[in-house]
Chain A
Amino acid sequence: MRIAVFVKQVMDPEAVLAFDESGALVQNEQNLIIDAYSEYAVERAVQLKEELGFEVIAVTIGDENSIPAVRHALSMGCSEAYQVSDPDQLCTIPELKAQVLAAVAKEVSADLVMGGCMSADTGRAQVMPRVAEILGLPHVNKVVEMRLEGNLVCTKSEVNDGIAEIDVQLPAVICAQEGLAEPRYPSMWDIMQTRKKTIQTRSVNEYATSCASTSHLAVVLRLKEARKSGSIIEGETLSEVVQKAVSALRDEAKVLWGA
């Protein structure tokens, strides 16, 4: 059994963002890390490898900055790693990225395809569902628990106000939500061992056939205005502080009293 797990390298969520003159986000000198949602998927895949002896292949797309993401996945226990080189960042178009990843999943003969239900940076939340549609495979989103019973993937998936139990047959695509597995910290030994492993490289041009619909989307980015911080309420006693807070809510903010 072979699991392909897609991982994304993202800017640290704590990063202070800025734009260059062309209106693009400045990526240089930002701290890059493996996306948290990718990491949940990698962890569960590696657990399945340890439980059932599967092969786990980590795959990423991007420029050379994306390589540490698959190295990290290797040090967590993945068996192999692929980097699809995309120096011009063509795969920032989700449709194109899905095409490429679907082709790679086929190439590595994946029985199970895993990845995050979204990424913490762009949060477009669509690459994995698109991969499923391209491959004609069943997909479960926002999975918080999964186990295998033969060819059946039994999942618990987050729905609006609760949890749905959804089963699908392999081959399938599964999207990790926070909670699926607690990612391990690789040991120094794991990290050292990983350095010796070869990362297979491919070029995005080998897979991508055409630019799909989102390429027509005209998107302009801007920084969201930060919330203005208010005031810490001071007072002689806590009782006075709370009293002042309640007065402020009523008289200044005009909330809670239907005003």
Chain B
Amino acid sequence: MGCLSMSRVVVFCDSSETALRNVSLEMTTGARCLANELGAGVRVYIWNGTEEEVAKLSTHGADEIALLDADHDMASNPEAIAKTIAKLAAYDEADILLLPHTSFGFAVAPHVAALLDAAYVPNVVAIDGEQRAIERESYSGKIIERVSITAETRLVATVRPKAVDAVVITESCQAKMLNIEVSWTDTHQVVRNVAEQLIGQVCLTEADYVVGAGRGVRDAEGFALVARLSDVVGAALGATRAVIDEGFLGLSNQIGQTGKAIAPELYIACGISGSIQHMAGASASKCILAINNDPEAPIFKYADYGIVADLRKAVPLLIEHLAHKTD
């Protein structure tokens, strides 16, 4: 590969994060790995960061940190954010821009790429700094696309939460703080209301433990059992489309190609058949325990441990065992 000279790798955090999420640290570490090989600096934009959060970004690899105003009316307007980010990135002469692969990134990043005449690489699952490459998933998670980074192409990428390890690179907090005045522009979009819908305290994409409910819950009682299991485990609660359509959970709790991609230490899949669309969002789980009464269910092809049983009988026993796990 030829000699590359790049000026900056820039990270834009999610404007909807009320506290710094791990994905922001993961992106910062990923940016650092790329920047080291490319001879570039790492600039991170966060929204309303506290001193402690700024320090964390610094130890995870940021050279420069700029604060954006999350309380501004426009901070929930995807179009306004895209225009602002494109302006900042052009001013920064950013060669690589990283955003989180969340609904925020999904809505904002392709517009940023179009405005900057940049390539757009969504759903990045690995950053290989040494080889100057990033990898993304496609075809419902069946294919990995490895994209080489070249000096000719400006790149906007969205990074999946928990895809890259957040690593403390330096103990000293020496990142330079920047004062950036953002001039928001008018937008076509009028955002009238944003309604929070997520159920449960733990964010699905960031969670170490996730409990998922599938068609096998059958009714409110079955669903309540699975929800109780997630409480006992201290897990985030997710579901397949069938359960969302029944109205037991909101769209924000959907796991799969259409919904969120999870990568917990443990995923307990209850009454989930394991369709390709669901697994596109769940196959990065480190360990999967599946409970399903159909021994032929595809989920057992992916699960590390399988229990063939009606979840109404198995989940209460599991709750009983796990409730005492601290004993």
A binding-site residues for B, Cβ under 8 Å: 11, 13-14, 17, 25, 94-95, 98, 117, 120-126, 129-130, 132-134, 137-142, 144, 157-169, 172, 177-179, 212-214, 216-224, 227, 229-233, 238-239, 241-243, 245-246, 248-250, 253, 255-257
Contact = CB atoms under 8 A, between A and B. Distances in A.
Contacts of A249: 266, 287, 289, 305
Interface in B77-120: 78-79, 102-104, 106-107, 110-111, 113-115, 117-120
Contacts of B150: 216-218
Contacts of B286: 253, 255
Contacts of B193: 164-165
B139 A122 contact: yes
A219 to B, nearest CB: 5
B147 A13 contact: no
B14 interface: yes
A229 B299 CA distance: 9
Interface string B196-213: 111000010000010000
A20 B188 CA distance: 46
A164 B196 CA distance: 9
Best-surrounded residue of A130, A134, A257 (most CB of chain B within 10 A): A130
Interface stretch (B34-42, B51-59, B215-223, B251-259): B251-259
Contacts of B196: 161-162
Contact of B154 (A141, A213, A239): A213
Interface of B: 14, 16, 76, 78-79, 102-104, 106-107, 110-111, 113-115, 117-123, 137-148, 150, 152-155, 187-198, 203, 209, 233, 241, 250-252, 257-258, 265-266, 276-277, 283, 286-289, 295, 300-309, 313-314, 317-318, 321-322, 325
Contacts of A140: 189
A168 B190 contact: yes
Nearest to B315: A242
B314 A229 contact: no
Question: Interface majority SS on A: helix, strand, loop or mixed?
Answer: mixed
Contacts of A218: 147-148, 150
A159 B193 CA distance: 11
29 contacts: A11-B139, A13-B277, A17-B143, A117-B106, A120-B140, A125-B122, A125-B123, A137-B188, A141-B107, A157-B107, A165-B192, A178-B241, A214-B120, A216-B119, A217-B153, A218-B150, A220-B145, A221-B146, A223-B142, A224-B137, A230-B303, A233-B307, A239-B317, A245-B289, A245-B318, A249-B287, A249-B289, A253-B287, A255-B266
Contacts of A255: 209, 265-266, 286-287
Nearest to A225: B144
A255 B283 CA distance: 17
Given A168-B190, A218-B150, A231-B305, 5 more contacts: A11-B139, A217-B147, A223-B142, A230-B306, A256-B322
A213 to B, nearest CB: 5
B195 A162 contact: yes
A242 B241 contact: no
Contact of A256 (B104, B118, B152, B233): B233
A241 B317 CA distance: 10
Question: Interface majority SS on B: helix, strand, loop or mixed?
Answer: mixed
A246 B321 contact: yes
B148 A165 contact: no
Contacts of A227: 283, 288, 301-302
Nearest to B199: A161
B301 A229 contact: yes
A162 B250 contact: yes
A158 to B, nearest CB: 6
Given A94-B120, A138-B189, A159-B104, A164 B146 contact: no
B307 A124 contact: no
A134 B153 CA distance: 19
User: What 3 pairs between A and B have smallest CB-CB spacing?
Assistant: A138-B188, A230-B304, A129-B110
B252 A245 contact: no
A133 B111 contact: yes
Given A168-B188, A218-B148, A126 B110 contact: yes
Contacts of A137: 188
Contacts of A120: 140, 257, 277
A212 B252 CA distance: 35
Contacts of A126: 110, 113-114, 120, 122
